[in-house]
Amino acid sequence: MLLLTYYGHSAFALSDGKDKLLFDPFFSGNPLATTTADVVTCNYILVSHGHADHLGDAPAIAARTGAMVIGTPEILETCRAENGHG
């Protein structure tokens, strides 16, 4: 069974109980966010495009959790650069 969690604005997650896919993790600065970036867990992060309200906290969450980021080459480079690995 899949569990869908809506975090506000563009952020949500799908979990099958084993793996969790986080979409567009915009938490910091999001008045609609139902949680904070420092407590979200995931195995994968999908970023639909590079606008701040979609890229959001992806670099920080990926660095903290080790989650694989899925997105365009530009998004991946942004994540690497923000984490000091680019």
Domain boundaries, given as residue ranges, for the chain: 3-82
Give the pLDDT confidence score for residue 31 in this predicted structure.
93
- pLDDT tens-digit readout, 4-44: 999 999 999 999 999 999 999 999 999 999 999 999 999 99
Residue 84 pLDDT class (50, 70, 90 cuts)? low
CA dihedral 26, 22, 43, 15 (to 10 degrees): 150
57 and 37 Cβ atoms separated by less than 8 Å: yes
Q: Which residue has the higher pLDDT, 81 or 84?
A: 81
The chain-wide mean pLDDT, for the chain, equals: 92
Geometric angle at alpha carbon 33, from 51 and 82, rounded to 5°: 45
Q: Which residue has the tokens 């969690």?
A: 5
For residues 75 and 51, give the distance between their C-alpha atoms in angstroms, rounded to a whole number.
10
Task: Give CA 43 to chain center in angstroms.
Answer: 10
> pTM value?
0.90
